[in-house]
Amino acid sequence: LGPCVLAQGLAALVNSSRPGGVAAHVVAGKDGGFGGGAPTLYKSLVLKVAEEFSQSNGGTANVDLPGAPFSAANGCETDPRWAPLVILVPLVLGLDRCVNPRYVPGIVRMLGLAQSVGILGGKPGASLYFVGAQDEELFYLDPHTVQLAVPLEQIWGCAQTGSPESGPFPTETYHCQSVLHMNARELDPSMVLGFYCRTRADFDSLCLELELLATRAGSTPILTVAPGPPPWDSDSDAERRDGGAGSDDDWELV
């Protein structure tokens, strides 16, 4: 699957169940495409989407996750005009087999942002989940490695009481036997950036950091930020909230 389809599919799954009240938004333009140039995160649009999700479940009941840091069950303060939001940004950074080297510094910096939840991507012939970076080396988890499932009740018991409800907590399912890493220049150009903003303050901070990164990148920004969409953009709010209904034929080529 291409980055657009992957991001839209993930957003649809999250928004259909709203785990812990979390919602997802895909940064996309008309018909799910981008129209050329670096994609733009429109602040006014994201704020409106977050407010809509905070006031409505879309006809579905939230799946509560009491042990999660974003759950109201933990006593976290909630903003009536903001829903915890996962922001997904599909990209195609180059036309060759591997990513355009100009974007490598920006990719590394993106992974260093506090709101980053990683990058869905890989290298030619292998899908990987990147979680961090050191210099130009990217650290990743291999989604093809199967681990035993840990019952949610056991996770909640450990998070709330400090002791599992049944047996020792299997921490080995959350770690690799060895450090998995690769050079960023070997990345496939197709990828999806992920950010998580639990509060409005998190989002404001993310926008500031992205603006600084775009300025530093000069003529090759990965993602730009703007107050709102231009007046000639006729996309409906519903289409934007759902991530659009376009195909990977509209991938943005930077």
Report pLDDT digits (tens) over 224-247: 999 988 876 645 444 444 444 444
Mean pLDDT, to the nearest integer, of 174-186? 85
* pLDDT value, residue 245: 41
Tokens for 240? 């934007």
Rounded Cα distance between 103 and 184, Å, is: 9
**How confident is the model at residue 236, as a pLDDT?**
44
Per-residue pLDDT at 243: 47
Q: Is 213 within 8 Å of 221 (Cβ atoms)?
A: yes
Mean pLDDT of the chain: 78
How much is the pLDDT for 59? Answer: 45
pLDDT band at 154 (very low <50, low <70, confident <90, very high): low
pLDDT of residue 46: 94
Pairing assessment for the beta strands 40-42 and 224-226 based on DSSP bridges? parallel
Q: What share of the chain is helix, strand, coil (3-state, %, to 5)?
A: 35, 20, 45
Output the pLDDT for position 227.
93
**Vertex 88 angle, CA 32 and 121, to 5°:** 100
Question: CA-CA distances (angstroms) from residue 23 to 4, 205, 239?
Answer: 17, 19, 15
In percent, the amount of the chain with pLDDT more than 90 equals 39
Across-strand partners of 89?
A: 193
Q: What is the pLDDT of residue 237?
A: 45
Residue 45's H or E segment, with its range, is helix 43-55
Q: Is the pLDDT of residue 5 over 90?
A: no
Q: Tens digits of per-residue pLDDT, 191-206?
A: 999 999 988 999 999 9
What is the model's pLDDT at position 103?
93
For 191, counting Cβ atoms within 10 Å of its Cβ (0-12 exposed, 13-18 middle, 19+ buried), the class is buried
> What is the pLDDT at residue 133?
93
What's the rounded Cα separation, in Å, for the pair 247 and 34?
A: 11
The pLDDT score that the predictor gives to residue 56 is 73
Task: Indicate whether this model's pTM tops 0.75.
Answer: yes
Q: Using CA atoms, how far apart are residues 24 and 8, in angstroms rounded to an integer?
A: 9
The stretch 97-114 carries a mean pLDDT of 93
165-181 average pLDDT score: 70
